[in-house]
Every structure is written in C-alpha cells, then in structure tokens.
Amino acid sequence: MATFIVLLGPPGVGKGTQAKILSDRKGLAHISSGDLFRENIKNQTELGRLAQTFMSKGELVPDDVTIAMIKDRLSHPDCRNGAILDGFPRTPAQADALEDMLKEFSGRVDAVPQITAPMDALIERMSGRWTCRANGHSFNTKFNPPKLEGVCDYDGSELFQRDDDKVETVKRRIQVYFDQTSPLISYYREHDKLVEIDGLQSIEQVTKAILSALNV
C-alpha cells in the first residue's frame, strides 16, 4: 500500500528542507503546494496569476483551486508508492478533500509529523533563506549555507529570495497559520496520526526524530 506523510508546521519551520530529505530516503514523491504555485507563477499560467494575488499578501490561496492542483499532482505516476506532502493540507476542508482523494488512490494519511519552533526562530530562518530556482531546495546564510554563494548545491541552479519572505508578509503568514491551519493539529491528533517534533534541533536531528517517529 502507498505511504502518505503530511508535514505540518508554521512557515519557515523546515517542512521543505525535511520533505526533500525524506523523499530521497523513503523513495516517495515530494509534493509542495508552495513550490507548485511558484512554478505556475514562473510560467505565468492563469493559476499562477491567481495564486500570486494571495501569496504576495501572505494569505491562503482558495481551497477549491488548491485542492484541484493537488488532486492533479497526486495522479502522476511518481505518486504510486506515496508522497511526502509539504504545505498541504492547510485547512480542515483541504484535509477532508485529501482523505477523499487518497481513497481513490487506495491510500490514506499514514503519519503527520508536526514540526514546531517559536516565532523568533521562524522569522530568523526566513530572513536568511535562499531558495533554488529549479527545484525549491532551501538554504540559509546562517544555518545551512550553500557551498558556493548564490548557487544550489544539488542542481547548480540560481538561488533567490522569496517575495513573501519580507518581515511584514512573514508575520502575516505565521498569523494565517495559527488562525487557519492550526485546527489541523487537533484533527490529526484525534485521528491518532500526529507526532510532535522539536524543530529547534539541527536539520539532521529533526530528520532523525521524524524517521524514528514514523511507523512506516
């Protein structure tokens, strides 16, 4: 049976960083809703234009378009064994939609590592973040610098700073997480899927904690 892992946690906590590592280690697809939106923005699609109006303000993109985008992504052959979901679901409606989608693929959410860190750490991480243009790899000038400034260690593509990493937008994104996404903590706890992970540890330690908590 396919394995689906949902990484839950506020902006900047390290979901993307961990999702890339886990996807390599477990041989599962990495699905990042934020990366999919950024790809659409880069390609100037209609979805990209719509998403940009919400992302630039730090607001969530509406559920219907987000759900349709993920449903399409899950139908790709690389998701046959499962996926690491990074940034989706982000509302109770998205979580319900995910359950229905996975039934169609004869899967279910297996585990939900909830990565936590205090607000000041999140802001510090996002202000030092550099993101890779080709595949969304995350680096940090202080915590995880690339070997060569401005260049991705993994694919050699250019590193850029995200528009929504400005301090004001970051604060709004964190608020939106607490208002709209944090209800998923109790949702997945009630479904016995939630495992709490201390995101203040080093990248390697967080990976180790997630892997030892995963029963898959």
Cis previous bond, 10, omega within 30: no
- Binding-residue pattern over the window 37 to 56 for ligand AP5, x denoting contact by CB under 6 A: x----------------xx-
Q: Does 202 bind ligand AP5 (CB under 6 A)?
A: yes
Q: Which residues pair with 109 in a beta bridge?
A: 4
Residue 143: what are its φ and ψ, rounded to 5°? -100, -25
Residue 56: CB atoms within 10 A of its CB come to 13
- Residue 45 or 202 having the CB closest to ligand AP5: 202
Q: Does 87 bind ligand AP5 (CB under 6 A)?
A: yes
Q: Exposed (0-12), middle (13-18) or buried (19+): which is 197, by Cβ within 10 Å? A: buried
Residue nearest to Mg ion according to CB distances in the complex: 16
- Binding-residue pattern over the window 145 to 174 for ligand AP5, x denoting contact by CB under 6 A: -------------------x--------x-
Residue 156: what are its φ and ψ, rounded to 5°? 75, 5
Question: Residue 3: enclosing H or E segment and its boundaries?
Answer: strand 3-7
Could you list the active site residues?
Answer: 15, 90, 129, 162, 173
Angle between the N-to-C axes of helices 63-74 and 46-55, in degrees from 0 to 180, rounded to the nearest 10: 130
- The item of Mg ion, ligand AP5, none sharing an interface with residue 13, based on CB under 5 to 8 Å by kind, is ligand AP5
Selected from 5, 31, 60, 209, the binder of ligand AP5 by CB under 6 A is: 60
Strand boundaries in 73-169, DSSP class E: 82-86, 109-116, 129-132, 138-140, 159-160
Considering only 8-16, 49-57, 68-76, 147-155, which stretch makes contact with Mg ion by CB under 5 A? 8-16
- The item of ligand AP5, Mg ion, none sharing an interface with residue 136, based on CB under 5 to 8 Å by kind, is none
**Residue 154 DSSP class:** T
Tokens linked to 47: 């979805």
Q: Does 17 bind ligand AP5 (CB under 6 A)?
A: yes
Contact residues: Mg ion, CB under 5 A: 16
Contact residues: ligand AP5, CB under 6 A: 9, 11-17, 33-34, 37, 54-55, 58-61, 66, 87-88, 90, 94, 125-126, 128-129, 138-140, 143-144, 164, 173, 199, 202-203, 206
